[in-house]
Structure 1
């Protein structure tokens, strides 16, 4: 799984606290002095949480260790003449490190922790007039289904799309945007106005936003960073470009992809509905008719995805939204794109819904999505995860070596699900075969 990077120890351009928070920021920075260093781990830990910084997490641990050495040493040796010399040095370092060092560190971080919103760039005027539009051309795709109104026509780029900052428009990115600096969503992501945060997952955070024309869209801001790696940026954009070829058979259309500074976001059609996972947990398993419709729609979505040369790689109940017009499959192709750019070897996906070859590091093709589809149908029919939900090693063992209980499925779907769950990918049907077998 890709790792999220936090800000560096000291931001290159220190923002200043707003006038409404100056008092609180001073009190916050002086906590190490008021508490003789006892409050330093809490202050730096708060900064790490606000700034989402991995280095600050380690700094918090170092301060906590120093504080622990001081308390243990001072409590064990009440008489300083009896304390060993080496331990006395550690106690002194722990005390003054937390007291003086914590004060200096807090003063340096104060501006970033209590930064005013203006530190992220000026707020643009909302409306289509603020974003110059290219010359009118014919749209490259029809208007999205459930969203009313029309999107701005998308011009054909004069060079390969993956060599541009933005794939689907000539609008330059807002490089002054910063992600991951606050628990609240930023007000603007490129030309899109964020109005809510609707989900967080292993790949990124999903926001509900408005286009300059006022249409609702879903924006996934990915955790993966592309710092100083132009080749990785181009590979990612090239991979996600393939998702545009997916026909809209029960899928949420990808509308835009961009990279601001070093962080990417994917804009897709907004589906007003709950995920299959949430729906089953709230209302219980699907009945036979509802399950059959779900199976047919999601198999059709996978068939369209595979026909475009894309493999989902993370098909699961959380990535199936139940909208007013039926099921919609989302987040297809993102796992593959991230897998192409991540600097470390990793397995992307949810273990309980991954195929044996995916867990084993083998070739991952459309057959893997078919395996995940069958696991998802078992969850929809029973409310239980097909291969269990206890420990990761136990789940992996079941996926690799055992067959799940199919009794919750209707008799008409059991043989089909069993064939989809074959350990050998070559013995599984295609998504198109699944559709035919359901309707026959």
Structure 2
């Protein structure tokens, strides 16, 4: 879950700023006479990770190339010639006006926004029971058994919650249907027994809120974008799979506290980590120094070893999923991809393009070795401030992941060999997280 102090995400949480940003983004095709259309649609394809938009961006790019070729071929032809007329009509109708209309339709999907009202204090909710406890592990790192999650029961009075439009965008404000008779404060959004105080981040899998548990503890509540159907077996399977993440030791991860389904909303509650993400820190302050890199590498490898020992593959390890708390780095969002596999409505590629492994790009089964490759890409970003595999489109990034090896020369000497091994294209030859941890700490 992407979370941290609310003040660090102020620009994303500001409805006015977000509205202005999306407005100017949608105006790019109009202001550039259609020349910017391929680029803004490609941006939408990368942000939304949709193959149809990637194909649309490719179509606009071909249209741009065709227009340039046509204007060269028609040089010297009178302006009133029918060929010039057809070329102009196709350009202005397709690339200029068509691109502007397309981006305005995509605007609310590319820049979704939910805002909730934060209330300083409110009574603890009484209507919902505390989350049911599951069996704790008998010994650190040893196999453990969890009780079977209770069958999902629809609430007697379903809570009011925003239903996304067909475009996938949410309403501007959420109130959560407060019920004063149950002790809930009006003007506060709720999901299950958790009050949602403010939105702190959003990613490809869901939206993260700073929440408050019934006992007053601050928690991170991630509401998944995907909606769950009425099948009780599917709901129970999702909850059971998501709760498996509680087997992971919490010394270098954000502990999963609770998982639930309310209506068609699936949510995951985890420990709230006060600190920026690695992605944000590098973007704002630059690459990490050698000592910080060593601590970061060892902590994240220890987290991956615990995740893999619990029988879980992260499948979306990236700088945004590493939070730098006061007590050290914490890995978040592990186990979500596996839980989402239990939903029949889940589809598409799992992972963030620039940090995916070759096997993920090829649509093959992603195992622990896939996380090791993504770890190598993340450490390269932390050490250099650059993406290891970059390109103008998702397709270009995918090709570089399959065929290109980043230059490790500028990196600290202690990291070069471990990263070279982690970034091997063949998953069978990559070392395990435990082996890399031993090599770096030895």
TM range (shorter): 0.5 to 0.7
Q: Which runs of 5+ in 1 are unaligned?
A: 1-116, 118-123, 143-155, 167-171
Please report how far the alpha carbon of residue 188 of structure 1 lies from its aligned counterpart in structure 2 after TM superposition.
Answer: 1.4
| 1:56-135 matches, cutoff 5 A | 126-127=123-124, 131-132=128-129
The residue aligned with 1:183 is: 172
Q: Give the secondary structure class of the aligned counterpart of 1:214.
A: coil
Tell me, yes or no, if the aligned pair for 2:161 and 2:174 is still in contact at 8 Å. no
Tell me, yes or no, if the aligned pair for 1:300 and 1:435 is still in contact at 8 Å. yes
| Higher Rg of the two aligned structures | 1
Tell me, yes or no, if the aligned pair for 1:162 and 1:241 is still in contact at 8 Å. no
Please report how far the alpha carbon of residue 230 of structure 1 lies from its aligned counterpart in structure 2 after TM superposition.
Answer: 2.9
CA distance in 2, matches of 1:165, 1:267: 19
CA distance in 2, matches of 1:195, 1:265: 15
Q: Give the secondary structure class of the aligned counterpart of 1:238.
A: helix
| 1:222-237 matches, cutoff 5 A | 222-237=224-239
Q: Give the secondary structure class of the aligned counterpart of 2:240.
A: helix
CA distance in 2, matches of 1:278, 1:290: 15
Q: Deviations over 1:26-78 (max 9, x none)?
A: xxxxxxxxxxxxxxxxxxxxxxxxxxxxxxxxxxxxxxxxxxxxxxxxxxxxx
2:315 to 313, 316, 326: 313
The residue aligned with 2:148 is: 160
Q: Deviations over 1:114-151 (max 9, x none)?
A: xxx9xxxxxx972165555699x998489xxxxxxxxx
CA distance in 1, matches of 2:416, 2:156: 49
The residue aligned with 2:435 is: 433
Relative to structure 1, the CA distance from residue 211 to residue 345 in structure 2 (aligned partners, 3 Å threshold; closer, same or farther) is closer
Q: Which runs of 5+ in 2 are unaligned?
A: 1-115, 139-144, 165-169, 176-188
CA distance in 2, matches of 1:227, 1:244: 25
The residue aligned with 1:412 is: 414
Please report how far the alpha carbon of residue 378 of structure 1 lies from its aligned counterpart in structure 2 after TM superposition.
Answer: 0.4
Please report how far the alpha carbon of residue 165 of structure 1 lies from its aligned counterpart in structure 2 after TM superposition.
Answer: 5.6
Please report how far the alpha carbon of residue 164 of structure 1 lies from its aligned counterpart in structure 2 after TM superposition.
Answer: 4.3
Q: Give the secondary structure class of the aligned counterpart of 1:265.
A: strand
Q: Give the secondary structure class of the aligned counterpart of 1:406.
A: coil
| 1:225-264 matches, cutoff 5 A | 225-264=227-266
Relative to structure 1, the CA distance from residue 389 to residue 134 in structure 2 (aligned partners, 3 Å threshold; closer, same or farther) is closer
CA distance in 2, matches of 1:162, 1:240: 14
| 1:384-399 matches, cutoff 5 A | 384-399=386-401
Tell me, yes or no, if the aligned pair for 2:209 and 2:221 is still in contact at 8 Å. yes
Q: Give the secondary structure class of the aligned counterpart of 2:413.
A: coil
The residue aligned with 1:268 is: 270
CA distance in 2, matches of 1:300, 1:320: 13
Tell me, yes or no, if the aligned pair for 1:250 and 1:300 is still in contact at 8 Å. yes
Please report how far the alpha carbon of residue 342 of structure 1 lies from its aligned counterpart in structure 2 after TM superposition.
Answer: 4.1
The residue aligned with 2:357 is: 355
CA distance in 1, matches of 2:136, 2:400: 45
Paired residue total? 298
2:315 matches 1:327:
no
The residue aligned with 1:346 is: 348
TM-score norm. by structure 2 comes to 0.63
Tell me, yes or no, if the aligned pair for 1:177 and 1:260 is still in contact at 8 Å. no
